Each structure stands twice: as C-alpha cells, then as structure tokens.
Structure 1
Amino acid sequence: MMFAGVVWALIAGVMLGLYALPEKYTKGYAYENTWGLFFILTMFVVPVIASYVLLGGLQVFGMVDSSIILKMAIASVLWGTGVMMWGKAINHIGLSLGFSLFIGTVILVGSIIPFFVNGIPPSNVFMTVLGGLAVVLAGVVLNGNAGLVREKDEKDGDAPGNETGGSMLTGILIAIVGGLLATGFSFANAVGAEPLGAAVAELGLAPWKTAVAVMFPIFISGGVVMGLYFAQQLTVKKRWADFKTVHVVPNFFLILIMAIFHYTASALFAYAASKLGDAGNTVGYAIFNASCVCTAIMSGIITGEWKRASGRAKALLYAGLGCMVIGIIIIASGNGLG
C-alpha cells in the first residue's frame, strides 16, 4: 500500500508540474485573461462537476461538523491567495524557477504542518523525513541562485525577447511568500481527510472518493479569492474584451486542460496521502511537490527558458534538481521506516 501511495504521489506531482505548460501556447490573451479563466475552471467548474458525478451530490458535506469545513475554508483562502501569487511569479521568472521556489517553500513548510495536526511520528521516521526536507531546502537555494545568475547572464548579453518580464528578485519574493500562504492546502487536507473519509464510507462510496470530497471545500474557498482578484484586474486593465479573440476556442481548450490537470493532480495527492500511513500527509506532500518541481524544471529547459543561461547557471539548476530527487528518495525511505 505504501508503494502505491508513493507512485500515486509521483504521478500527481508530474501532472502538477505540467499543468501550466499549455499557457505558453495561448494566443491573444493577456496574463489576466489566461489565469482568470483558468482559476474559474479549476476552482469552480471542474470541482462541482467532479463532486456531483463522483459523490452523487454535495450531501457528504452536511454529514461533517461545520467547524471542520470552516477550518478548511479559512486555510484554503490562504492557499488560494498563494496560488494566485504563484501564477504571477511564473510571469516574472519563468516556469522552472517559479515552480522551484514556490513549491520548494510549500514543501518545507507544508510538509511539517500535518505533524501538528496528526501528531509526531516515531523518531526514526521524523528525523529521516526532516533530513530529506533539508536536502530539498538545499535544492531550493541552488535553484534560486541559478535564477539570479541567469538574470545576470541575460542582462550582460543584452538578450532580446526575454520571455519572463519583470524583476527576478521581485518574482522570487512573490514565489516564496506565495509558497508560505499556499501551505494552507496541507492544513486543510490534514484537517478534512479523516472526517470526510468517514462520511464517504457512511454513504457507501469507494474510499478513493474521499479525495474528491476533500478537494471541494478547498477549491471552492480558494477560488473565491482568485475569482475576485482577477475580476478586478480584468476590469481595471480593460481586458474583458480580449476574451473575444479569434483564438478563443483553442485558448479555452488549452486552459481547460490546465484546469483538469491541476484539479486531478491535487485530488491524486489526497488519495496518495491516504495510502501512506500515519505520516502520509507529510510524506505524500513532499513527494508530490518535489516531483512537481523536477517536472517543471525539465519542461522549462525543454521549452527554452534556459537557452541563454551560462554554464554556471545551468550547473546550479541541475544541482538543485539533483537535490530534489535525492530529497524525495530520503523522505520516501523515512516513511518506510514506520
């Protein structure tokens, strides 16, 4: 069962690492159009459809103490704010570095939060997992340095057509603060998984559908923040008319793919965590997010984000990627000790 949980966490991470890739191929949309439509689809449309189809409606949420849903909602508002900042960071510093810093922060803080909700595991598990997180931290630092070196390379070379407009330092700060806020997802999942799982079982539904139930209050609550923000941005910047571009149909389907990948990845993480035992939320969260970073870095390299970077910048990036992989292995091994 533990092995299955690790595999599902890895698959979920790969999906999350790839979800933003279609954004590079939308046409005629400003940042506000692409991400505004994405958040509406992924936070409201996809979860509502998934919940009605897989849970047979929303009655499962009336079977749980309202205080549980309230705690999940508050934490999810913080998560929604963090994810919104994540999208902005990617616009500043690119896909690979934006994912690396944001998710790295999420891993380091979010992986510890479940310990305070579910209790500290045996000391050998706890210390090994912390060791793995330290290795991930080294990867975050290396990737941050790689981004700063890349920015200097591009400025020194006066490289035209830099695809990641904005200050690198600003983008890094946005990504880190966003990552801290986004750890609300980990808290909401840790708080809601057990009571919602019991409600799902009482309804006679398959246990894996608990993941769908957990995602609904998280996504709806987080989506409120994002919806309001992008409605305001679209109005202030007069971007509503841009939705009428001749590319509206292909753009919609590209963004729908992003939304489905994002939602499915999050639900698969919740399922994986349930298969990983007592430390499942911590271990699953770390594996899920670290594999996401690795995937995002590779996709950023393949799409040419680092083609103008020096050998030193790339060496730092690859070293950071290596730390992420090693950290995943140590964290997974630590869970096995339990």
Structure 2
Amino acid sequence: MDIIILGVLLHFIGGFASGSFYIPYKKVRGWAWESYWITGGLVSWLIVPLIAAQLTVPGWADILRQAAPSTLAWTYLFGVLWGIGGLTFGLTMRYLGLSLGMSLIMGLTSALGALMPPLYRDLFTDDSTGTLSAMCTNLGGQCVLIGVAVSLVGIALCGRAGFIKEREVPDSTKFQSVSEFALGKGLLVAVISGVLSASFSYGITAGRPLAAAAVEHGANSLFQNNVTFMVIMWGGLTTNGLWCLWLNWRNKTFHNYRDRSTPLLANYLLVACAGTLWFLQFFFYGMGESRLHNDASSWVLHMSFIIIVSNAWGLYFKEWQGTSKATKGLLLAGILVILAAITLVGYGNYLS
C-alpha cells in the first residue's frame, strides 16, 4: 500500500509540473512565440534530460551504444510524433489558455493512449490478447471503451463551454487572460495535439529494453526510464526545432535571442524554468510508473492530475472571468466527466 501511495504522490508531482510549466512562458516579454518555445525546448528536451541521465543512470552512454537499432528507431520515431503533439500543445495554450486547452488535450490523449495499442494489435499482429476485439468481450476492456466514449462527452462539454465563452466575454477581457485567443484555431490544434501526444506513452513502451538495461547497469528502478526519455526527447526536439527555426526565418525573429531592448536575462531564466518544469513532469511520471507497474493506469492518473492542476491555474489567472455561472458550470461538468472517464479507463486497465 505504501508503494501505491508513493506512486500516486509521484504522479501528482509530475502532474503539477505539467499543469504549471506554461506559466513562466506567460511572463516572457518582447519575444515571438517560436523564440521562447524552442529556447525552453532546448532546456527540456536536451539539457535537463542529459543531466538527469548523468546523475541517475550509470553508463547511460554505453546503454545507448549497445541498444538494438530498432529499439532506438521506434523510440525516436514516437518521440518525433510526440514532438508534433508538443508543438501543437504550445499553440493550444497560446490560443485557448490553460483550462480549456489542457482539458481538451488531456482528455483526447488519455482516451487514445488506452485505445490505440489494442487497435494496432487487432489489425497488424497475430496476438489474440489485448486486442480491441478482445476488449469488447471482457469487463476490463468494456470499462476502457466506455471510458473512452465518456471522455468524448466531456471534451464536447468543454468545447461547448469554449464556444459560449467566446460569445459572452468581451474582447478586452478575453485577450487580457489569453492574448491570442482564437477558438477555431485552438480547437484544431488541440485535436492534433491530443492525438499525437499519446505517442509519448508508446515511446516508453518501445524503450523498455533501455529501461531494463539501465537497471542492469546499476540504476535505481525509480530512474529506469531516464535513458528512454532522452531518446524520446531527441525526437521532440527534432520536430519542434525545425518548425520554430522556420518560423524564426519566416517572421524575422532571430534577433529575439540577442535583442537588448527586451529583458534578456529575465526571458532566458523564465524559459529555463518553463523547460525544466516541462521535463520534470516525465521525470516524476517515470518514477511513479516504476512503483505502480501499470503503464496504462499510470498514464491516465497522470492525465487526471494535469487536468486538475491546469484548471486550478486557469481559474487563478481569471481565464473565465466575465462568463456566466452556467458557462462555468458547463466547463466544470466537462472536467468532471473527463476525470470520470479517466477513472473508468484506469479501472478497466486494472481489471484487465
């Protein structure tokens, strides 16, 4: 029981980091979005994962050199896909804000993270266990499928609240909390982000041999995923780096990095803080998963805490100021439905 409590606590810390990481970005002044996103990304996808591996996994470089090319390739590929999800995640925060954006993305990611692996096994493998058709015939699988359907209802409620918010709130208030609020763009990128962000979970699964090698090299099992995280993060850095550098070129914003008319030191410290928080969500996620020994349940638990924390911050920053009680109630109902769906998905995986 103590191990389970520790695992839940670690997931809460990771969820808090994820739900909070975008706050320092809101304080950056005078930089284009692409400039602060990729600068923070260098911290979260390159520097901090390297430091974490260096401190916690003896011989991490040897583990990578000796790993099977297929393991590295699949882990990196899922990182690339997750990177696209992370890129559109940043755009979602930019257009929708913390509460609505996080709720939509996390609901989709949780549902797809549970549904896609069994669908893949059904279509492309000869494995008769853990498939979508098998899920339909047992109680655990049926709970997962019901949870996925319920999550879509919650997402629809949150989206409906967003549409009403756009009508109710005057532009002066709307753009005060989310300076570039755009519901149409935000919903589109939220769907893309939610679909592809689940690839991080697939990357952890593909990198299982790296985690096993880390333990064999003497790493504490709490930190067994830190080498895997490095490879996934490299994939994320690839997609985000290419996109942001292209935006720098198109928008002529390369000067941001040395523009002394902006608070350069403060901006760099803020993006470093944001990038560190971004990585810490997975650092603590990896530790929590190592104690619960159930990747699917860990994933949905992580999503739950992110939704709770991000919406608490959204209320704190008054993103829904000026909306009616009915609209706030609709948003709250959507969030509660998503949390109920995540609980169903987690319980279904536990039964399975």
Asked if these proteins are the same fold (TM beyond 0.5), I'd say yes
- 2:333 aligns to what? 319
* Residue 286 (structure 1) aligns with: 300
Structure 1 segment 159-178 matched on structure 2, within 5 A: 159=172, 162=175, 163-178=178-193
In the alignment, structure 1 residue 120 sits paired with structure 2 residue 123? no
SS in 2 for 1:26: coil
- Superposition map of 1:3-152 within 5 A: 3-56=5-58, 57-115=60-118, 120=130, 123-152=138-167
Identity of aligned residues (%): 24
Q: TM-score, normalised on structure 2?
A: 0.87
Partner AA of 2:225 in structure 1: A
What one-letter code is carried by the residue in structure 2 that aligns with 1:147?
G
- CA apart distance, 1:158: 4.9
Q: Secondary structure at the match of 1:43?
A: helix
Distance 1:111 1:337, change over 3 A: closer
Q: Per the alignment, in what secondary structure is the counterpart of residue 225 of structure 2?
A: helix
Structure 2: distance between partners of 1:38 and 1:141: 32
* DSSP-derived class of the 1:224 partner: helix
Change (3 A) 1:104 1:325: closer
Amino acid at match of 2:76: A
Question: Which of 224, 227, 237 pairs up with 1:213?
Answer: 227
Does the CA-based 8 Å contact 1:287-1:331 persist in structure 2? no
Matched AA of 1:239: T
User: CA deviation digits over 1:104-156, x for unaligned, max 9?
Assistant: 211111123454579529934333344444433332221111111111112xx
Shift of 1:42: 0.8
Distance 2:235 2:23 in 1: 25
Amino acid corresponding to residue 274 of structure 1 in structure 2 = S
For 1:94 and 1:198, the matched residues in 2 are separated by 39
Q: SS state of the match for residue 58, structure 1?
A: helix
Contact 1:89–1:171 (CA under 8 A) maintained in structure 2:
yes
Distance 1:181 1:149 in 2: 27
Q: 1:191 aligns with which of 203, 206, 217?
A: 206
In the TM superposition, residue 324 of structure 1 has moved relative to its aligned partner by 3.1
Task: Give how far 1:276 is off.
Answer: 2.6
Rounded to whole Å, the distance in 1 between the matches of 2:116 and 2:227 is 21
| TM-score, structure 1 as length reference | 0.90
1:224 aligns with 2:224: no
Q: How far does residue 99 in structure 1 lie from its aligned partner after superposition?
A: 1.3
Cα distance, 1:271 vs structure 2: 2.7
In 1, are the aligned partners of 2:296 and 2:349 still within 8 Å (CA)? no
C-alpha RMSD of the superposition:
2.3
Distance 1:105 1:190, change over 3 A: same
Q: Which amino acid aligns with 1:139?
A: G
1:203-224: CA deviation from partner (whole Å, max 9, x where unpaired): 1221122121120100011111
CA gap of 1:134–1:11, structure 2 versus 1, over 3 A, is farther
Matches within 5 A, 1:215-294: 215-243=229-257, 244-245=259-260, 246-277=262-293, 280-294=294-308
Alpha-carbon distance in 1 for matches of 2:218, 2:90: 38
> How far apart, CA to CA, are the structure 1 residues paired with 2:219 and 2:301?
27
Is the contact made by 2:174 and 2:319 (CA closer than 8 Å) also made in structure 1? no
Q: 1:328 to 1:109 in 2, by over 3 A?
A: closer
Aligned-pair CA distance for 1:190: 1.4
Aligned partners of 1:150 and 1:103: how far apart in 2? 20
Structure 2 alignment gaps of length 5 or more: 122-126
Residues 132 and 100 of structure 1, relative CA distance in 2, 3 Å threshold = same
